[in-house]
Amino acid sequence: MTIPSDIANTIVDPKAYADGGRIDAAFTWLRAHAPLAVAAPDGFRPFWVVTRHADILEIERQNELFHSGDTFTTLTNIEGGEQVMKLTGGSPHLVRSLVQMDNPDHFAYRRLTQAWFLPQNLRRLEPRIREIARGFVDRMAAQGDSCDFARDVAFLYPLHVIMEVIGVPEVDEPLMLKLTQELFGAADPELNRSRTDAVSAEQAVANIQATVMELMMYFTEMSENRRRVPKEDLATVLAQAEVNGAPLGHLEALSYYIIAATAGHDTTSNTTAGAMWAMLEAPDQLAKVKADLSLIPGLVEESIRWVTPVKHFMRSATADAEVAGTPIAKGDWMMLCYPSGNRDEAVFNDPFSFDIARSPNKHVAFGYGAHVCLGQHLGRMEMRILWEELLPRLHSIELNGQPRNSEANFVCGPKTVPVKFKMH
């Protein structure tokens, strides 16, 4: 079945993701009428749209059959794709991080930092992360009775944590935030590098490439520094790492830094800002967790499901296959729609309600299988600690204007959540 063109154009439209109602309606229609079907939006080559939770898991668990790196790993239109390949000499990837890798490379590169991000190793960071969280709560209190929770707290706190983990000095954090927002907000006129609306595919790719080059120059210098003067940080691990007995390739090493420095905070920021927005629109949930802080882990999981900051990844079939009884041909391109999987009525009772007591909460926001998010435990821990520090201090809090989401079809979440509050 071919998806109707209005729905196909909606699911690739960055503006639709900023307007939650429009994208939710499109995915709800697809789950009911065409859960695994082909879309051919204007300007794109056709691809399968995977909207059901079970089908997303089915594809994610078969990493040899459905590859991440053989073609574009994120939704790319024909013109943008041609532009990227012109810049890279034929590769579909401007960077080559874990996200763009398949085995054996994926396993070998993931293993370099996997231990760093295990819960038992993150525990040693907890006292320092709590100190950072407390500092941000104090800064919020010092702003008087209003702030933009997204820009003043949710964006800056996880940024500070991951930059400290990597070894980026605090003075460079504003630069890292700006570059991350340019990378993930390439379609958003308030966030992209040229700060304009409706940039052409050529301009959009040039913007992203310029941002990637700036990040690469920064981390080349940092990597050289850590080879000379090692420290107790992730930058040193990467600078000294070897794969199959040889140092990391230049592109792979720099891509590793870039994914840690961007995805390492942006997704947590989006989820934290989105959790506050959701609780202020469902004050019973806020009251419940304020009265019983043992509900915070449930709040964290529900906010991850609710926001689902990573909206999709693409896969391509390495052989003829079948998913949910539907034949998929070798080379077919597939869009895994995580927000749709996380609103799947077959898995989640009342999926459009924000419910911090939801159990079980088998969301797919971190992906699944070999590509499951490397930093998921750090993200959960940062959010848990922030709520543990902030909620007991809040006497009252309410919206002070209309929150807004960023315009992006890959990674997005709230870009502004204005609040009024009183602190104890």
Rounded CA separation 374/268 (Å): 13
Residue environment code for 69-101, b if the CB has 16+ CB neighbours within 10 A, otherwise e: bbbbbbbbbeebbebbeeeeeeebbbbbbbbbb
Q: What is the pTM of this model?
A: 0.96
Nearest Cα to 268, choosing from 310, 297, 312, 311? 310
CATH number of 5-423: 1.10.630.10
pLDDT of residue 197: 77
**Average of pLDDT values for 141-170?**
96
* Residue percentage of the chain with pLDDT more than 90: 89
- pLDDT per position as a tens digit, 343-400: 999 999 999 999 999 999 999 999 999 999 999 999 999 999 999 999 999 999 999 9
- pLDDT per position as a tens digit, 78-126: 999 999 999 899 999 999 999 999 999 999 999 999 988 999 989 999 9
- Asked if 205 and 230 touch (Cβ cutoff 8 Å), the reply is no
pLDDT of residue 186: 83
pLDDT of residue 60: 98
* Separation of CA 56 from chain center: 17
**Cα torsion angle, 156, 157, 159, 164, sign:** positive
pLDDT of residue 190: 87
Rounded CA separation 149/277 (Å): 9
How far from 363 is each of 93, 367, 387, CA to CA, in Å?
28, 9, 21
Q: Where are the domains of the chain?
A: 5-423
* Separation of CA 16 from chain center: 17
Residue in this structure with the two tokens 């034929």, named with its chain if needed = 90
Rounded CA separation 362/76 (Å): 29
Query: Phi first, then psi: what are they for 247, rounded to 5°?
Result: -60, 160
Query: Phi first, then psi: what are they for 419, rounded to 5°?
Result: -135, 155
- pLDDT per position as a tens digit, 144-157: 999 999 999 999 99
For the residues of 10-53, what is the DSSP string, one character each?
A: HHT-HHHHHSHHHHHHHHHHHHHH-SEEEE--TTS--EEEE-SH
- pLDDT per position as a tens digit, 170-226: 999 999 999 999 988 888 888 888 888 766 878 888 889 999 999 999 999 999 999
Angle between helices 156-166 and 173-184 (to 10 degrees): 110
**Average of pLDDT values for 41-61?**
98
- pLDDT per position as a tens digit, 276-334: 999 999 999 999 999 999 999 999 999 999 999 999 999 999 999 999 999 999 999 99
Average pLDDT, the chain: 95
Neighbouring-strand partners of residue 39: 47
